[in-house]
């Protein structure tokens, strides 16, 4: 059947009927005024363009998002609706949902247990979409197939908990995914589909970090990987490692964490079939765990000049107050002040800017410089030279971000208010002001690169853009 689309708060009219992959949902019956709240200021370079409403259950729990600019599609791991939501980024329309995931699994207190919920990590290459599920499986979808047969494989990692964040090589033939909630945590290298027309995903290797660096039994984890085509390595964020610095505490049950994190460097060409245990960094092979300074990272993304931006967060180490940039080749590091608490981070090659889903930017209550936004969540905007340009308030727990490099539009999911969904919901009015509704949404921001260039020309005494 034809997929119909909805959009609220943009240039196109609302279409109230729609069909999506896991059944039919009624779209909201009235248009809302999106982009009018405190997360949509008029004095920022990054403007709130519109808000795409997500049909079904209000957004309470979601995870990682991804954009495939060649297909003009945005993908969101929507645990509230047990599927991957797909948005058309040419027109900012909701297209459909790929189902078959565990959804939001609640604990005895009614809170979402992220370790068992899914979808979680999401990535794509060509026609193939990959999503991690809460039952420790990687699900593989053919985006060119009919909805009823889009799910082609469900491949187990052999773990107990969710397959979380993941990354693909540039050619889409290798995929590295992290089981962050298993103890000890581990990564799985898969043979992925590349540009093949038939799915043949399979497990190639299992990756673990030496127990001396990542001790088992303490709930330590590994997080977002990123692929660097220049060094041909995966770089994986590790929030906390032992002995960094010497004598630090990595046991959260014994008091505040004082150990910094690390960056796991993986050369897929050096991995053997089966289990591979990786230890301290070896500069001769450019593999192993690099100790970081003043950073317990979740997110990782590769930007210009072979630099990686890591999303340090006080959730991992309470002393984290910055964001870290590290060069993939030299391992030289530099801190970006006044932005922290990021989960997913994204480099947009279209405008050469980093975007951060900084859900814990202000750390703990009382430390936020803007007391009117107690949710502490910000969309961070950082240029290619690692200069913080601006921070834009978001709904509480706003931790996911992805950008379309062809259109320089940035996608930031917003949770519904706590009054609607309970724990995990927005405790501010920011999300409602951005979305123009109380259901949550995906906010769409835009960076007008041409406008910035015109302003730069004006500053240098160039021609007025209206004279061209």
Q: Is position 452 within any domain?
A: no
Residue at 231 is within a domain: yes
Residue 412 domain-assigned? no
Task: Give a yes or no: residue 216 inside a domain.
Answer: yes
The answer to whether residue 308 sits within a structural domain is: yes
Q: What is the pLDDT along the chain (468 residues), one digit of tens a residue?
A: 433 333 334 433 333 223 333 333 334 333 457 899 877 877 889 999 999 999 999 999 999 999 999 999 999 999 999 999 999 999 999 999 999 999 999 999 999 999 999 999 999 999 999 999 999 999 999 999 999 999 999 999 999 999 999 999 999 999 999 999 999 999 999 999 999 999 999 999 999 999 999 999 999 999 999 999 999 999 999 999 999 999 999 999 999 999 999 999 999 999 999 999 999 999 999 999 999 999 999 999 999 999 999 999 999 999 999 999 999 999 999 999 999 999 999 999 999 999 999 998 865 444 444 444 455 899 999 999 999 999 999 999 899 999 999 999 999 999 999 999 999 999 988 999 999 999 999 999 999 887 665 555 555 455 443 333
In a domain, 16, yes or no: no
In a domain, 300, yes or no: yes
CATH code for the domain of 288: 2.130.10.10
Residues 6+ apart with CB under 8 A from 1: 19, 147
pTM (global) more than 0.85? yes
Decide if 31 is inside a domain: no
Domain count, the chain: 1
Domain hosting residue 346, numbered range? 60-389+398-403
């Amino acid at each position: 059947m034809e997929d119909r689309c909805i959009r609220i708060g943009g240039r196109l009219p609302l279409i109230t009927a729609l069909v999506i992959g896991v059944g039919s949902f009624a779209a909201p019956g009235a248009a809302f005024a999106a982009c009018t709240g405190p997360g949509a200021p008029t004095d920022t370079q990054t403007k709130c363009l519109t808000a795409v409403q997500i049909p079904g259950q209000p957004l309470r729990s979601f995870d990682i998002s991804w954009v495939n600019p060649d297909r003009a599609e945005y993908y969101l791991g929507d645990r509230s609706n047990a599927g991957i939501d797909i948005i058309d980024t040419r027109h900012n329309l909701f297209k459909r949902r790929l189902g078959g995931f565990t959804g939001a699994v609640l604990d005895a207190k009614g809170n979402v247990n992220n370790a068992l919920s899914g979808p979680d990590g999401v990535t794509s290459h060509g026609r193939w979409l990959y999503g991690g599920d809460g039952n420790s499986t990687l699900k593989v979808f053919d985006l060119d197939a009919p909805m009823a047969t889009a799910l082609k494989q469900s491949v187990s990692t052999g773990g107990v908990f969710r397959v979380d964040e993941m990354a693909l090589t540039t050619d889409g033939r290798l995929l590295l995914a992290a089981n962050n909630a298993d103890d000890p945590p581990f990564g799985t290298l898969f043979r992925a589909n590349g540009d093949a027309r038939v799915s043949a995903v399979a497990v190639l290797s299992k990756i673990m970090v030496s127990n001396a660096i990542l001790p088992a039994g303490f709930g330590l984890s590994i997080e977002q990987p990123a692929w660097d085509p220049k060094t041909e390595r995966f770089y994986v964020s590790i929030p906390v490692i032992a002995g960094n610095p010497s004598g630090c505490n990595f046991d959260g049950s014994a008091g505040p964490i004082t150990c910094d994190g690390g960056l796991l460097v993986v050369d897929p060409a050096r991995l053997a079939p089966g289990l591979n245990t990786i230890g301290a960094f070896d500069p001769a092979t450019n593999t192993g765990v690099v100790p970081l300074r003043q950073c317990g990272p979740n997110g990782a993304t590769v930007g210009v000049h072979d630099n990686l931006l890591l999303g340090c967060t006080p959730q991992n180490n309470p002393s984290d107050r910055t964001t870290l940039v590290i060069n993939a080749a030299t391992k030289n590091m530099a801190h970006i002040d006044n932005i922290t608490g990021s989960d997913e981070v994204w480099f947009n090659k279209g405008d050469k800017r980093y975007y951060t889903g900084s859900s814990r930017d202000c750390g703990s209550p009382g430390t936020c410089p803007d007391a009117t936004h107690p949710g502490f969540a910000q969309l961070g905007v950082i240029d290619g030279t690692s200069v913080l340009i601006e921070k834009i308030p978001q709904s509480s727990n706003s931790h996911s971000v992805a950008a379309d490099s062809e259109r320089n539009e940035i996608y930031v999911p917003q949770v519904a208010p706590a009054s609607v969904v309970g724990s995990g919901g927005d405790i501010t009015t920011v999300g409602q002001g951005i979305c123009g509704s109380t259901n949550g949404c995906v906010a769409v921001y835009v960076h007008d690169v041409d406008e910035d260039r015109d302003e730069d020309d004006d500053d240098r005494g160039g021609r007025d853009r209206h004279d061209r």
